[in-house]
Structure 1
Amino acid sequence: MPITLTLTENVLPAGQEAVAASKITEAFLKHHGLSGNTVMTPNVTTHVVLIAKGHSFSGGKPVEGAWVETKTPSFALADHAVQAEFFGEATQILHDLSGGTLSKDRIWSNGVHTVDGTWNMSGKALTNAAIGEAISAG
């Protein structure tokens, strides 16, 4: 389940991008009750995109910020309490890792649900039911 972390350059101190990716992945698994799950842990992936200053915008004006986007099967992040807890924690992680310089109002997030049957693990396109079975085994 890919998580995309997009950051304007230098909103986090150098080297903290990897820490952010790790902590946000852990938060995602925790809020879904999947911490330590041997199937899902390696299948929650994160990639970091750095954007040069002057190339990210809010309201059409340059802004330095952070964006967290998830792409998941429809059963993940389906409950509003889980959404609020996960994205709230991800926001706090980024704010804290910035040393408090990245204000929470410059951290945006969203979740995208994929079409059932299009999630690929180990070279196989799996339905939501098949993913559920795999998770139960892990």
Structure 2
Amino acid sequence: MIAAPTIYLKDIYKMPVQIIATEGVIARHRTAELHCEIVELFLSLHGLSGNRFMQPNVIGEVVFVDPDLSFANKASAKIVVVELRVPSFAFPDQQIKNEFVAQATRLVIAAAEGRLAAEQVWVNAVFAVDGLWGIGGKAYSNDQLLEEISAAG
């Protein structure tokens, strides 16, 4: 595994994680563990494991899609999509992107227990240039979010 780079205040942020899977590809009893592993991978690659602000605010879900309603190559297919919604300063370099995609894909394949190949896994991040991050009824800008995370250490 590539060592996590030193990160500066501008590189710290919060995000939700969604895993979308064709029903039957990942056993329901594996979903919480998979979600937790993906979140920890993301946090560790960005030097944020254990941050007191991040920990309670890392949210997400696993969504199962009927096999007749998931597609690849214009046909019904077994798929898994790992999607993160993050501020614009997430994934600051290609090395972190490469490592996250490779490791997240391996985690999904392991959770699928032989029911999925790497070619059936998609990983992406949707960036919010200066998005709205509502936590506990308060709206945070990216800069305000950075301040809260930094203060929480």
Shorter-normalised TM range = over 0.9
- 1:54 aligns to what SS in structure 2? helix
Match of 2:23 in 1: 9
CA distance in 2, matches of 1:3, 1:116: 18
Pick aligned residue for 2:139 from 117, 120, 125? 125
Matched AA of 1:42: P
The percentage of aligned residue pairs carrying the same residue is 38
Shift of 1:128: 1.6
Q: How big is the alpha-carbon RMSD for the aligned residues of Structure 1 and Structure 2?
A: 1.3
The runs of 5 or more residues in structure 1 that have no matched partner are none
Pick aligned residue for 2:56 from 28, 42, 51? 42
Shift of 1:89: 1.3
* Maintained 8 Å contact 1:73/1:119: no
Match of 1:55 in 2: 69
CA distance in 2, matches of 1:44, 1:86: 17
Tell me: CA distance 1:17–1:117, structure 2 relative to 1, closer, same or farther (3 Å): closer
Matched AA of 1:48: V
Residue 139 (structure 2) pairs with residue 112 (structure 1): no
Shift of 1:58: 0.6
Shift of 1:80: 1.8
The runs of 5 or more residues in structure 2 that have no matched partner are 1-14
* Maintained 8 Å contact 1:56/1:64: yes
Runs of 4+ in 1 over 6 A off after TM superposition: none
CA distance in 1, matches of 2:148, 2:69: 41
> Given the two structures, how large is their TM-score scaled by the length of structure 2?
0.84
Match of 2:42 in 1: 28
Residue correspondences, number: 138
- 2:56 aligns to what SS in structure 1? helix
Matched AA of 1:95: I
* Maintained 8 Å contact 1:24/1:93: yes
> Given the two structures, how large is their TM-score scaled by the length of structure 1?
0.92
